[in-house]
Amino acid sequence: MTRTRFWWIGACLAALLLLGPTSGWPHAYLVKSAPARRAVLLRAPTRVQLWFNERLEPRFSRVSVWDREGKQVDSGDVQVGPDELIRLSVGVPPLAPGTYTVKFRVLSVDGHVVEDQFPFTIRESQ
């Protein structure tokens, strides 16, 4: 191969990389949450909320809150939106001090399922 041919192949590969999809991560991912991942709170939240980078499919998106003993403690009123289709939330009753785990499984409009979990802690107020 000649030097010119190598140059053209390199230029074509660079063009493919530059003109390809701009999204490097095609699935929904958690952008932020309230409470935040590993947050330590002095007051229990009344609702756990999660925001994603893509719109969610409400019928296939779930979030739940579990205590340290493995008991589900949320109220079960899972919602996507309704004003923001990127927000998933669930209500929680008054929670005692302790560590809780938020588990979620979402289906974004691109058809991919993402599942993850994170803890947060409620400290006793002094």
Is the pLDDT at 19 greater than 70? The verdict is: no
Structure tokens at 20: 């390809």
**Element holding 23 (H helix, E strand):** none
Q: For 2-16, 38-52, 59-73, 82-96, which range has the lowest pLDDT when averaged over its residues?
A: 2-16
Q: Structure pTM?
A: 0.77
Sheet hosting strand 98-107, strand order edge to edge: 40-41, 113-122, 98-107, 62-66
Is the pLDDT at 9 greater than 80? The verdict is: no
Nearest to 27 by CA among 104, 110, 84: 110
